[in-house]
Structure 1
Amino acid sequence: MGTSYVAFIGFVMMFIIIYLLLKQKVSTMFAFSVIPIVSAFLVGMTPTNLGNALEKGLGMTTPVSLIMLFSLPYFMMMADTGLFNELVRKIVRHVKITPPVLTCLTIVVAMIVGMDVSITSIYIIAIPLLLPFYRKLHMSPMLLMFLTTLGVINTFDVPWSARMLRAASLVPNVKGGSIALFSKMLPTQIVFTIVLFALAIVLGIRIQHKNKNNGEINDDELEDTSQSTDSIQDDPELARPKMFWINIIFTIFLVVCLVMFPTIPSYYIFAFGLVVAFAYNYPDLKMQSKLLKKYSRSLMPVMPTILLSGVVVGVMEYSGMMKAMVNILLKIIPSQLGPWLYIIIALVGVPLMFLFTNDTWYYVMLPIVISIMKAYNIPGEIVVVTLFMNMGAMLTPIAQPQIYIGANMTGDVITIPQFIKKSFLPIWGLSIVWTLIGLMMGAFR
């Protein structure tokens, strides 16, 4: 079949997947596992060739899926033991609350709670906990949700997050997978985190100057307001306060192993951590079984989606669709812009995310961009880390419906349109800052 026809089928497949997912006509698993198969037969793949493509494609995503299988339950278990809640309580109880401190504290709390990579839990815990402080200091709940969202964004790239695992599945040739990508982004993120805290301090100082008579909560008020930490409720059956320091030390040990021993499969390190932490936190096997059933609900449908994304990548790569599509695009893209295409996409990534879901961003658009940039000798991992931080996802309920929960946690004083209107330009500006930092530090080139 002609190259133009194969490319046409590839583009049609891409647009059909995006349309169906945006309109919520089918599940992501259906879109990834059925539509590529139809496209494969339309371009003339035999069952044998299709089988080989599926085996290779799923082989790319299986290790990443296994990481999620063990890492997500581990951090959910640590959340159940009260580890992250106690960290937040200790911080809130031992700091003097002023507007600049509170704005920084908002980001810190969101980042700590976000260690279990649950955006829902970040909004459910951080906003009710800090809202009384904001009200006492006459600070807007909109600012609370905005800064909490920045904390969410700053946890996107922890190696066990669904986003990082999606990204790692796109570059299976990169040794170390999500750990390697995280390490690549870490210097950029350190600088970006400093930028976030600088922004938080500036916002806090402006509010402090504006409310000169309400610049600080005194000790009595702090004691009263600190009762809001009671909103962080641990399950009395699951909380393990006596294991707090052991769990911190053991978690740090696992992270060190991930970094220091890249030859050991990451999924085994998390599997080891999960079974050992279960053994000393919940030695009762019935309790372990109960918790595993509970955690398995969080694995669905994200883990199968990550696994089945290998069908899309495998079919596009080994049917010739990817190559044909790239050749067409290379003829269209001006030669002067070609080497900078992925940077241009990164700079306009926030508004682009209103046209994508997280899955279509990573599994439909990124593979095409990666293939295009190969023609300009830009490695796939560079493209992935540059386009990874799709911050616009936190502005659209299509990609991140949890923002409805964040708005609800403020007592319904914030609507989603209001949040988008107030946060769009700042978050887009921060996305551009992230890209420029990465370019200046050499991570994105």
Structure 2
Amino acid sequence: MLAILGLITIVVLLIVIMTNRMSPLVALIAVPIIAALAGGFGLETSKFIISGIRAIAPTAGMFVFAIIFFGVVTDAGMMDPIIDRILRVVGTRPARITMGTTLLALLIHLDGSGAVCFLITIPAMLPLYERLGMDKRILALCVSMAAGVNFLPWTGPMIRSAAALKVPVTDIFNPLIAVQGIGLLFIFTVAFLLGKREERRLGLNTATAGVGGDGAPVGPAPRVLTPEQIKIRRPKLFWVNLILTLFIMGVMIEGAVDPVVMFMIGTVVALMINYPDVKMQKERVDAHAKAALMMASILLAAGVFTGIMGGTKMLTAMAQSAVAFVPPDMAQHIPFALGILSMPLSLLFDPDSYYFGMMPVIAEVYKTLGGDPIQIAQASVLGQMTVGFPVSPLTPATFLVVGLCGIGLGEHQKFSIPYLFAASVVMTIAAAILGVIPF
């Protein structure tokens, strides 16, 4: 009975989210509560909800303060010299431009926001692509690869997977650091080879690399800051902010202090250093509050869902029923198979549906068969809404990429999907070879 009720709950959740009949926030709260009441759990449901929220609170707190912290140091101008330096170094050689595009997108995506990454990187690099006659699909691919492989502990998929399994995000991320490094090596190699291919296609050499199709000299487009941006910049504090950021990230990844604590401390220090005036501190927090609140509310709603699904034992009952259909000798291959399929699954499931609906069931089945559920989360983040999100029609970021680059959705998907899928496969194989997940 519980297994059937759990299955119905999952199916209804997927349907109402994917058909836009309910927002993820509403669905993650309403659907499991109705299911629990229908299952006869009554007022005990509230205990399950509190338990789920309590388990997920540190993750939600980390995400909120990570957004504010990176927002503050970016407002202060920490990224400006880095961006300007990259634009100067890339020059007008396509191979340098493609690698510079990838590096710039990688750095901008440190705050975990794909939209911000695309809004800054693409307008900065697009003039070079247009003046040299380079394929703008390559620009779209480079920023997509960089944002996709950059699955840091405070990015959406990592946060969701940790919240769904109620484990510290560092338990999922730290074993994947070397795997991510291999993924980064792969995407920079792809970017370089595509750049060299463009040089051959355009017939560019050292003598003609700085000349556009109209014969005029080509150079990086200067970045122009608005008066509002100039007002909040703190260029003299660049090194202070950079050292603070590296320290926060280093301590967090090392695991000496809980991530939520580090980002809370980092946010306080960044605000006091850059904006000692109380009014400006409030303005900087308000500027990033919307993004922080939006994701935090979804994570707390996910706590309701996971708390009820776990407390009522629906998840356990579903897993026990599913185990009968999985041959014991095939159990160890589940993470590897999921890693291979994770990127294509981005085209079928939005992140909330997958990480809060599908992944917990798969993880529970794998746990029942003797595996470590964390390996399911690790396999998932190697592609599902990481390298898959910039081409998924289920995410607004995809349309932002094609809109900013001035290309069609179809041509972007046709060109980028093979490379993004290859990045996911390479990282999955690397994870298996390094022993993060079993073959």
Common topology (TM > 0.5): yes
Instruction: For 1:437, give the aligned amino acid.
Output: A
Q: Where does residue 307 of structure 2 map in the other structure?
A: 314
Mapped partners of 2:108, 2:366: distance in 1: 37
In 2 relative to 1, CA 8–215 (structure 1 residues): closer, same or farther, beyond 3 Å?
farther
Find out whether 1:404 has 2:399 as its counterpart: yes
Shift of 1:257: 2.4
Q: Where does residue 19 of structure 2 map in the other structure?
A: 23
| Aligned partner (choices 195, 199, 223) of residue 190 of structure 2 | 199
**1:131-146 equivalence runs, <5 A:** 131-146=126-141
Q: Where does residue 183 of structure 1 map in the other structure?
A: 174
Kept in 1: contact 2:64–2:292 (CA 8 A) = yes
Mapped partners of 1:230, 1:69: distance in 2: 29
C-alpha offsets along residues 423-442 of structure 1, whole Å, 9 cap, x if unaligned? Answer: 22222222112211111111
Find out whether 1:98 has 2:89 as its counterpart: no
**1:129-278 equivalence runs, <5 A:** 129-155=124-150, 157-173=151-167, 177-213=168-204, 225-230=218-223, 235-260=229-254, 262=256, 264-278=257-271
C-alpha offsets along residues 213-239 of structure 1, whole Å, 9 cap, x if unaligned? Answer: 456765698x96445132566701111
Q: Where does residue 332 of structure 1 map in the other structure?
A: 325
Mapped partners of 1:224, 1:284: distance in 2: 46
Unaligned runs of 5+ in 1: none
Instruction: For 2:261, give the aligned amino acid.
Output: Y
Q: Where does residue 288 of structure 1 map in the other structure?
A: 281
Kept in 2: contact 1:97–1:217 (CA 8 A) = no
| Aligned partner (choices 395, 419, 423) of residue 426 of structure 1 | 419
Find out whether 1:107 has 2:102 as its counterpart: yes
Secondary structure (helix, strand or coil) at the match of 1:337 reads helix
Report which stretch shifted further, 108-117 or 342-351.
Answer: 342-351
Mapped partners of 2:254, 2:204: distance in 1: 52
Kept in 1: contact 2:328–2:369 (CA 8 A) = no
Find out whether 1:369 has 2:365 as its counterpart: no
Find out whether 1:61 has 2:56 as its counterpart: yes
Mapped partners of 1:394, 1:15: distance in 2: 26
Instruction: For 1:158, give the aligned amino acid.
Output: L
**Equivalent pairs: percent with the same residue?**
22
Secondary structure (helix, strand or coil) at the match of 1:300 reads helix
Kept in 2: contact 1:188–1:434 (CA 8 A) = yes
Q: What TM-score, normalized to structure 2?
A: 0.93
Kept in 1: contact 2:105–2:121 (CA 8 A) = yes
Mapped partners of 1:219, 1:327: distance in 2: 64
Shift of 1:308: 1.5
Shift of 1:259: 3.6
In 2 relative to 1, CA 226–239 (structure 1 residues): closer, same or farther, beyond 3 Å?
farther
C-alpha offsets along residues 181-220 of structure 1, whole Å, 9 cap, x if unaligned? Answer: 2211101111111111111122122222222245676569
Secondary structure (helix, strand or coil) at the match of 1:235 reads helix
| Aligned partner (choices 334, 342, 353) of residue 349 of structure 1 | 342
Mapped partners of 1:331, 1:198: distance in 2: 44
In 2 relative to 1, CA 394–406 (structure 1 residues): closer, same or farther, beyond 3 Å?
closer
In 2 relative to 1, CA 307–123 (structure 1 residues): closer, same or farther, beyond 3 Å?
same
Kept in 1: contact 2:342–2:381 (CA 8 A) = no
C-alpha offsets along residues 345-403 of structure 1, whole Å, 9 cap, x if unaligned? Answer: 221222222221111111111111111111232212121111113132222131x2112
Kept in 2: contact 1:132–1:225 (CA 8 A) = no
Instruction: For 1:122, give the aligned amino acid.
Output: C
Q: Where does residue 380 of structure 2 map in the other structure?
A: 387
Shift of 1:300: 3.0
Unaligned runs of 5+ in 2: none
C-alpha offsets along residues 277-331 of structure 1, whole Å, 9 cap, x if unaligned? Answer: 1111111101111121121111132111111111111111121211111122112
Q: Where does residue 429 of structure 2 map in the other structure?
A: 436
In 2 relative to 1, CA 315–127 (structure 1 residues): closer, same or farther, beyond 3 Å?
same
Kept in 2: contact 1:14–1:364 (CA 8 A) = yes
Mapped partners of 2:55, 2:140: distance in 1: 37
C-alpha offsets along residues 41-93 of structure 1, whole Å, 9 cap, x if unaligned? Answer: 22221313x22221221122111011112111000111111212321111221
Mapped partners of 1:135, 1:215: distance in 2: 19
Kept in 1: contact 2:346–2:392 (CA 8 A) = yes
Instruction: For 2:83, give the aligned amino acid.
Output: V
Mapped partners of 2:375, 2:234: distance in 1: 42
Kept in 2: contact 1:254–1:269 (CA 8 A) = yes
In 2 relative to 1, CA 229–282 (structure 1 residues): closer, same or farther, beyond 3 Å?
same
Kept in 1: contact 2:53–2:304 (CA 8 A) = yes
Instruction: For 1:331, give the aligned amino acid.
Output: A
- CA-atom RMSD, angstroms? 2.2
Shift of 1:342: 2.9
Mapped partners of 1:92, 1:142: distance in 2: 19
Secondary structure (helix, strand or coil) at the match of 1:228 reads coil
